[in-house]
Amino acid sequence: MINNSDEIKRKFLVNQIPDLSGIVKTEHERYYLYRQNGIDLRIQRLNIKYELERKVEVSNLARVGEKIVITKEEFEILKRFCDGKIIRDSYQISKNTVLRIYQGRFEGLIRVEVEFQGEDEAQSFNIPDWFGKEITETMLAKDSDLLKLSESEFNELINSSRIS
């Protein structure tokens, strides 16, 4: 089964984590097969669901993607060919807002992502108080970009982003 999607998102750090009681956590385990020239090819586990996904960057705010459901066995085989790994938990705060809390190598990154119907809506978005600095156009915005950072580069970027 192929699922196509277009997405327009803005991404922010978090000043204060909202109350998550009653919100179901989704565990993400993501591995990258290819990540160059604005194209990402990745596999991921979302709780007990497995996917192969291709994303193509259209602009700083927009990407187009396709997803194919795969089996756990296919996931485990493809994982051997991957060069990067992201582990995070996600919380669907509202219909268009997701909170992502990173673990492992990127522990300390807490990001909120808001999806929009169009770029005009994205540009006119009123930012809630619990949101922090916007990171949409930084290396902290995309998982594939995070993987390009060394540990010291990540720490420097996350610390300087919190101060600004």
Residue 157: Cβ within 10 Å count: 17
How far, in Å, are 34, 46, 82, 161 from residue 95 at the CA level?
30, 18, 31, 27
Strand duo 49-57 + 62-69: pairing: antiparallel
Query: CA geometry: angle at 38 spanning 77 and 105, to 5°?
Result: 55
The dihedrals phi and psi of 78, each to the nearest 5 degrees, come to -65, -30
Q: Please, what are the domains in the chain?
A: 2-163 (2.40.320.10)
Residues 6+ apart with CB under 8 A from 132: 12, 13, 14, 15, 162
What integer pLDDT is reported at residue 1 of this predicted model?
A: 56
CA dist., res. 25 & res. 21, Å (int): 10
CA dist., res. 80 & res. 86, Å (int): 15
Percent of the chain predicted with pLDDT > 90: 82
Q: What is the per-residue pLDDT across 133-161, written as a single tens digit (0 to 9) for each?
A: 999 999 999 999 999 999 999 999 998 88
- The DSSP secondary-structure symbol of 24 reads P
Per the CB < 8 A criterion, the answer to whether 102 and 109 are in contact is yes
pTM of the model: 0.89
pLDDT for residue 119 is more than 90: no
CA dist., res. 149 & res. 134, Å (int): 19
Can you read off the two tokens belonging to residue 118? Answer: 């169009």
pLDDT band, residue 4 (cuts 50/70/90) = low
CA dist., res. 94 & res. 65, Å (int): 22
What integer pLDDT is reported at residue 63 of this predicted model?
A: 86
